[in-house]
Amino acid sequence: MSYQIAMGPRERKSPFFDRTVTDGATAMTIYNQMFMPVSYGNALAEYNRLMEGVSMWDVAAQRQVQIEGQDAERLVRYITPRDLKNCPVGKGNYVPICDHEGRLLNDPVVLRLEEQKFWLSISDSDILLWVRAIAKEGKYNVVVSEPDVSPLAIQGPKAVDVVADLFGDWIRDLKYFWFKETELDGIPLVVARSGWSKQGGYELYLCDGTRGPTLWDKIKEAGKPYEIGPGAPNYIERLESGLLSFGADTHPDSTPFEVGMGKFVDLDREDEFIGKHALTRLSKDGPKRKLVGVIFDGDPVTFNEHPWVARVNGTIAGTIRSVCHSPRRKSNIGFALLETQYSGIGTKLEFKGEGRSFKGEVVAQPLVDPMTSILT
């Protein structure tokens, strides 16, 4: 079912918004109170472009929370269970942020720009408000703000060639999750080797929103020899590759241990962090639910508008969180958040969605081997 979203002052437009509309964006979502394109009208073509060529995405809705000041490192280490003590300047780290009961609030990438200056590149939740409250109550000597920073992603196997043509061959040696502050014809940027796909690429953090249209045009021009085109964080590829989508794949009570983020919880740290005692208990007790991969029968599905109830022999076992049809696996696939006793590989599931009944099975992740060709 399709709806229209009314535009108003509460919903922000990114610096690239007008260019995405000109280039054919057909659907948008609201993410961190900002419009974010999710489709340009041909899901399979956008998927193929990401898998075989290069795609450019407006991901400015991936907002930054900037923490700067004398106590910046101490505050950043307090708000995440991942130990960032030895994180160098110029490096990013994927981290969970939890509340005092160990519930997952966000899964940002933390970028260390200076010894006492960090960005949290956040998924969809109001972490700015959370961090400001923690900083104030803890009397941390910091300034917590949302800077004028808007990421634009260049993803796909040919992304490295496009970005190298723009910035030089040094970009080829940039390690995954590392970044560098630079500029492009006077446009201030942070270039990171990262992105929400497993196809390789970069994220260009624009540090002057007024230059958004110019940056978009420069990337589009540089990408012409590689047949670059607009796209968006790709729903199909991320399910095939096993990438978590906070909010879609998680429940409000989900913990890092339930959704594959337990490896980023460092309980042996000597210092305190938010949720340490709760996470220690949860780790000892084991997760009550697990996020797993599933395959299922039936004609190709598109996307689900809400979670579907999953059953095992008629007993409610959890929910199917996200689904799509995989061109590489040539079957319907998805993620399910199931009670642990029903999460084992090979467990048979029944569920209904969009007026249809399905039979499925829990399988290992990633749901598609990264070496599998679209044409296989």
Cα separation of 4 and 27, whole Å? 9
Asked if residue 185 is part of any domain, the answer here is: yes
**Is the domain of 177 the same as that of 58?**
yes
Q: If you average pLDDT over residues 99-110, what whole number do you get?
A: 98
Asked if residue 86 is part of any domain, the answer here is: no
Q: Examine the fold and report which residue of 238, 261, 279 is the final residue of a domain before the chain moves on.
A: 238
Cα separation of 308 and 203, whole Å? 33
**Is the domain of 262 the same as that of 355?**
yes
Q: Examine the fold and report which residue of 209, 238, 267 is the final residue of a domain before the chain moves on.
A: 238
Q: If you average pLDDT over residues 8-34, what whole number do you get?
A: 96
Alpha helix locations (H) across 86-158?
A: 127-137
Asked if residues 246 and 95 have their Cβ atoms less than 8 Å apart, the reply is no
Cα separation of 114 and 259, whole Å? 31
Asked if residue 48 is part of any domain, the answer here is: yes
Which residues does 282 contact at the CB level (< 8 Å), separation at least 6? 102, 255, 257
pLDDT at 371 over 80: no
The structure tokens listed for 324 are 């799509």
Closest residue by Cα to residue 236 from 330, 361, 126, 106: 330
Q: Taking phi first (over 0 means left), then psi (-120 to 50 degrees means alpha), and beta for anything else, what does residue 151 get?
A: beta
Q: Quick one: what percent of the chain has pLDDT higher than 90?
A: 94
Q: Whole-number mean pLDDT of the chain?
A: 96
Asked if residue 111 is part of any domain, the answer here is: no
Domain CATH number, residue 271: 2.40.30.110
Q: If you average pLDDT over residues 160-182, what whole number do you get?
A: 98
Asked if residues 331 and 341 have their Cβ atoms less than 8 Å apart, the reply is no
Q: If you average pLDDT over residues 54-72, what whole number do you get?
A: 98
pLDDT at 67 over 90: yes
pLDDT at 1 over 70: no
Q: If you average pLDDT over residues 128-134, what whole number do you get?
A: 98
The DSSP code for 102 is S
pLDDT score at 375: 57
**Is the domain of 216 the same as that of 256?**
no
**Is the domain of 279 the same as that of 326?**
yes
**Structural domains counted in the chain:** 2
Cα separation of 79 and 252, whole Å? 18
Alpha helix locations (H) across the chain?
A: 17-22, 43-52, 72-79, 127-137, 159-167, 212-222, 235-241, 276-285
**Is the domain of 344 the same as that of 271?**
yes
CB atoms under 10 Å from CB of 85, counted, come to: 11
308-352 pLDDT tens trace: 999 999 999 999 999 999 999 999 999 999 999 999 999 999 999
**Is the domain of 188 the same as that of 230?**
yes
Asked if residue 6 is part of any domain, the answer here is: no
Asked if residue 308 is part of any domain, the answer here is: yes
Task: Go through 345-356 and write b for each residue having 16 or more CB atoms within 10 A of its CB, e for each that does not.
Answer: eebebbbebeee
Asked if residues 323 and 333 have their Cβ atoms less than 8 Å apart, the reply is yes
- Give me the amino acid identity at 36: M
- 3-state DSSP helix/strand/coil percent for the chain, to nearest 5? 25, 30, 45
In which domain, by residue range, is 174 found?
A: 17-63+149-238
Cis bond before residue 300 (omega within 30° of 0): no
CB atoms under 10 Å from CB of 134, counted, come to: 15
CA 119 to chain centre: 15
Q: If you average pLDDT over residues 131-142, what whole number do you get?
A: 98
Q: If you average pLDDT over residues 226-251, what whole number do you get?
A: 97
Domain CATH number, residue 50: 3.30.1360.120
**Is the domain of 213 the same as that of 309?**
no
Which residues does 213 contact at the CB level (< 8 Å), separation at least 6? 15, 16, 18, 19
**Is the domain of 225 the same as that of 254?**
no
**Is the domain of 171 the same as that of 213?**
yes
Asked if residue 307 is part of any domain, the answer here is: yes
Q: Examine the fold and report which residue of 238, 272, 295 is the final residue of a domain before the chain moves on.
A: 238
